Amino acid sequence: MIALTLDRIAEITHTAIGGSARPDTVVDGPVVIDSRQAAPGALFVALAGERVDGHDFAAAAVEAGAAAVLASRPVDAPHLLVDGGDDEVVAALTRLAAHVAGELGDPRRGADTTEVVGVTGSSGKTTTKDLIAQVLARHGTTVATAGSFNNEIGHPLTVLRAGTDTRHLVLEAGARGIGHIAHLCRVAPPRIGVVLNVGSAHMGEFGDRDAIARAKGELVEALPPGGRKRGGGGVAVLNADDPRVSAMAGRTEARVVTYGLAEDADVRATDVVLESTGAPSFTLHLGGDSARVRLALVGAHQVHNALATAAVADELGMDIAEVADALGAATPVSRWRMEVTEHDGATLVNDAYNANPESMRAVLTTLGSLARERRSIAVLAHMAELGEDGHAEHERVGEFAAQTGVSHLIVVGEQAEGIAVGAERAAREGRWRGETVRVPDAGAAASAVRERMRTGDVVIVKGSRVAALERVIDLITKGDVQ
C-alpha cells in the first residue's frame, strides 16, 4: 500500500485513533483481514463475522508486525475505531481504498499513472482477469484480484495491494444485485472495462437475463468518455458474439472495441482448432495484423477470454507479436478452473469452482474434444441460484451431456436430479448409450469414478461452489478412495 500515517488514515476513514496507537506511525504494509497474513507495517481489518471474530486475533496481528487494527470495538492493540459494526468497518476500508486509487490515478504522476482495468461477466471473468494480468505484467508491475475475491471486501483489499510502482491494476467485478458493480467502480474508477457475457449465473437473484445485463453494464457506464487510440479516454471492450453485451455500446461514452468470432469484430479469431490436449489455437487478427496463438489453457471457450485480453493489451501499447507470445505463455492461476492432471493413465480435469448452464455446456464440449476416441466420465453437481427455471436448466444440461457422448455421467446430490433426468430421457429415446449414476456427495462420486476409471479415460468435474467437487479429484489422486 502507499505509505500513510495513522492520523492520515484516521482522517480518510473517519475513524478515531485508540489504544497505544501513535498518530505518526506509518502504515506501508499489506491491508489484511486474516491475522496470519499480517506483516510489518500492515493494517489488520477486524471483522466480527458470523463464525470467527477478527477482534480476537488483533493482538496476534500486532505481534506479527501489524501497525494497527481497524476495528468496530476497542482492542488491546493500536487501533482505528469505527462508530458501528462490520458494515462501517467495510465502509472505512472502502474510503481508504478509494483514496489510494485516487493517488494511483493522479495525472500528476504522468507516465507512472496506474491503468485500471475492470472485468465482469456471467462466466469466465476470473480466468480472463488472470490472463490480462499475466500479459500486462510484461509491461510493468501488475496487481490483480486474487481468485474470485471480487466483492465489496475483496475489491478494496485488492486496490490497497497497489503501490507507487503499480503500472496496471486489474479488477474483477462481481455482482449479486443492481448497483453492486457501480459501487465497486466508484472505489477504483476503471479506464478500460471488459464485459465478457451475459448468462444465467445468479438468475434466481436477478430474475432474468435483462436484469443481469443491466448489472454487468454498470461497468461500461462508469468509464470516462472515449479518446484517441492507445492512451486516451475510456475504452469499453465488448463481446461482439453476445447480443446483450454488444448492445452495451449504447450505454457508454467510452470508445468501444469489440472482440469475438464475428467478421466485423475489431479483435477477432479465425481458424480455431481444439487440439487433442483440449488447448485451442487460432489466428488472432488485431489492427490489420495477424498472428497465430496457441493457448496452454484448456477449452474452446478460452478463445474469447484470450481475445478480450488481446484487446486490452493492444490498448495499453503491446504489439500483436508480443500479445500472441504472452497469451501462449499464460498458465492457469486461480484454483479449480480447468486444472488438468494425469493420474493412473487417465486425464483428470478439475473445473469445480462454480457452475452455470453456459459454463456446464462449455466444459462438456471440452470433454468431448479431449476424449474423442477415449471413454469419458463427467461428474456434475447442481447449479445454484437459477431461480424458477432451475430444474429445466439442469435437464437441458443432462440432455447436452448425452449429446456430447459422455460414457458415464455421475450426478452428485438431489439438487442435480434434473441432470440425470435429462440424460435418461435421451437414453430412452435411443439418443445416448451411456450410464447415469446418482451419488449423494463428493466422496461417493470419487468412489464411483474409481470403480469405472480405466487407463486412457478423461474425467471432468463441475458444479457450484457449495458442492465442493474439487474433493473428487483430491480423493482420487491421493489414493484415499477404496
pLDDT over 70 for what percent of the chain?
Answer: 96
Name which of 353, 373, 441 is nearest 363 in CA terms: 353
Could you tell me which CATH class the domain 4-93 is placed in?
Answer: alpha beta
For 105-329, CATH gives 3.40.1190.10
**pLDDT category of residue 428 using cuts at 50, 70 and 90:** very high
**What's the pLDDT band for 231 if we cut at 50, 70, 90?**
low
- Residue-wise burial string across 165-190, b where 16 or more C-beta atoms lie within 10 A, e elsewhere: ebbbbbbbbbbeeeebbbebbebbbb
Average the pLDDT over 8-14 and give the result.
98
- Tell me 233's DSSP state: B
d(CA 264, CA 287): 12
- In the predicted model, is pLDDT for residue 445 greater than 60? yes
What phi and psi values does residue 86 have, to the nearest 5 degrees? -55, -40
The pLDDT of 462-478, averaged and rounded, is 92
Start-to-end CA distance of the chain, whole Å, equals 49
pLDDT tens digits, one per residue of 353-363: 888 898 999 99
Q: What pLDDT was estimated at residue 65?
A: 96
In the chain, list all ranges with CATH 3.40.1390.10.
Answer: 4-93
Angle of CA points 17, 23, 25, to nearest 5°: 115
Q: Is the pLDDT of residue 450 over 90?
A: yes
CATH 3.40.1190.10 positions along the chain are 105-329
pLDDT for the residue numbered 136 = 98
Distance of CA 12 to the CA centre of its chain: 30
User: CATH 3.90.190.20 occupies which residues in the chain?
Assistant: 339-477
Q: Give the pLDDT confidence of 78-124 residue by residue, as tens digits.
A: 999 999 999 999 999 999 999 999 999 776 655 578 999 999 999 89
Of 146, 139, 144, nearest in space to 169 by CA: 144
Superfamily assignment of 339-477 in CATH? Answer: Mur ligase, C-terminal domain (3.90.190.20)
Q: pLDDT value at position 156?
A: 97
Cell of residue 356, nine digits: 452455470
Please report which confidence band the pLDDT of residue 148 belongs to, taking 50, 70 and 90 as the band edges: confident
Average pLDDT over residues 46-63: 94
Q: How far apart are CA 167 and CA 104, in angstroms?
A: 9
Calpha distance 302→480 (Å, rounded): 33
